[in-house]
Amino acid sequence: MTENQHLESLHIPVLTDEVLEGLQLKSGDTVIDGTLGGGGHTRAIAKLIGGNGLVISLDRDSHAIERAETLLKGLPVVLAHSNFTDAPEVMEQIGISKANGIILDLGLSSDQLGDHERGFSFMSDGPLDLRFDKQNGEPAYRLVQRLKQDHLANLIYEYGEERLSRRIARKLISMRNKRKVFSAKQIADAVYGCYPNPRKQKIHPATRTFQALRIAVNDELKSLEIALKRLPEFLVPNGRLAIISFHSLEDRRVKNAFSRDIRLEPINRKPIVASDVELDDNPRSRSAKLRIARRI
């Protein structure tokens, strides 16, 4: 554990007020926070439900768990180093059968972006890793090394919705003949150079490529699909499931699951987005979309 991981979390949780209002929690409730991150949602929920309640917070990132052990000390919180797909097993281990609310925040945390050893930031000179859990799976630079050009292009197009995927894949394939380990900055610079007018883009040109590689190495969409099938069963009647997504691939899956699952009733037909005040305070909230469903 590095010195930086002992510091207080840099992450500002998004849509916290909207999450608390949407979950309709009360004192003594049990809540699952499937994506601990910087602990912001967990802290707010724990204070709301009080000492008689319980928040079970999970995260695939061991650094998040280690940091939260200090930051959330004294609050009614149980921490688990686990994927949110395995929340039912974690509940069983501590003798909990149902929850009053479940929250998933599918975004990256500022703490992860600031960890230069894993390459989440475009400016990182560290290896392009992008794994939430460095003990499992393969780092992104190895994925880039082994995939054929067409497969890499398809991955960037499908998971990043990147229109220049084939041009970017060609560039990355030419790069890999010169080096075995790519830094995040090297990949970001390469993608930047594939755009004819990179400075005119609303977001950094590498955003979609990084998203695609991150989704692939962490199997994010599969995890979300599994969670959407499993988690509603572990809500009490009228319990609520709240999910914050950050791109259309996630939001589409959440919307469809909430609409088609006979166990669920969508609370909001359109996603809840950040207010102007929150956007000013936390620009990273601009992509956040919150959907809430009630367990019938």
Residues 88 and 9 reside in one and the same domain: yes
| 116 located within any domain | no
Q: How far apart are CA 101 and CA 94, in angstroms?
A: 17
Q: How far apart are CA 189 and CA 185, in angstroms?
A: 6
CATH number assigned to the domain comprising residue 27: 3.40.50.150
| 119 located within any domain | no
Choosing from 219, 242, 276, the residue where a domain stops is: 219
| 44 located within any domain | yes
Residue 170 burial by CB count (10 A; 0-12/13-18/19+): exposed, middle or buried? middle
Give the per-residue pLDDT at 111.
67
| 58 located within any domain | yes
pLDDT by residue (tens digit) across 68-93?
Answer: 999 999 999 999 999 999 999 999 99
Supply 221's token pair: 């969409």
| 124 located within any domain | no
40 and 9 in contact (C-beta within 8 Å)? yes
Residues 91 and 233 reside in one and the same domain: yes
CATH number assigned to the domain comprising residue 168: 1.10.150.170
Q: Is the dihedral of CA 255, 102, 230, 111 positive or negative?
A: positive
Residues 57 and 189 reside in one and the same domain: no
Residues 9 and 106 reside in one and the same domain: yes
Which of residues 265 and 67 earns the better pLDDT score?
265
| 120 located within any domain | no
pLDDT by residue (tens digit) across 87-119?
Answer: 999 999 999 999 999 999 998 776 666 666 778
Residues 18 and 47 reside in one and the same domain: yes
Residue 8 has pLDDT above 70, yes or no: no
| 76 located within any domain | yes
pLDDT by residue (tens digit) across 158-177?
Answer: 999 999 999 999 999 999 88
259 and 266 in contact (C-beta within 8 Å)? yes
| 275 located within any domain | yes
Residues 13 and 107 reside in one and the same domain: yes
Residues 103 and 230 reside in one and the same domain: yes
Choosing from 219, 234, 260, the residue where a domain stops is: 219
> What global pTM score does this model have?
0.92
Domain count, the chain: 2
Choosing from 199, 219, 239, the residue where a domain stops is: 219
Q: From start to end of the chain, where are the E strands?
A: 30-33, 54-59, 77-81, 99-105, 235-245, 264-266, 289-295
Residue 154 has pLDDT above 70, yes or no: yes
Residues 233 and 100 reside in one and the same domain: yes
Supply 27's token pair: 């004192």
Return the DSSP state at 6: G
Which of residues 112 and 225 earns the better pLDDT score?
225
Residues 141 and 201 reside in one and the same domain: yes
Mean pLDDT over 9-21 rounds to 87
Residues 105 and 21 reside in one and the same domain: yes
292 and 22 in contact (C-beta within 8 Å)? yes
Residues 213 and 228 reside in one and the same domain: no
Q: 203 is in which domain, residue-wise? A: 130-219
Residues 82 and 225 reside in one and the same domain: yes
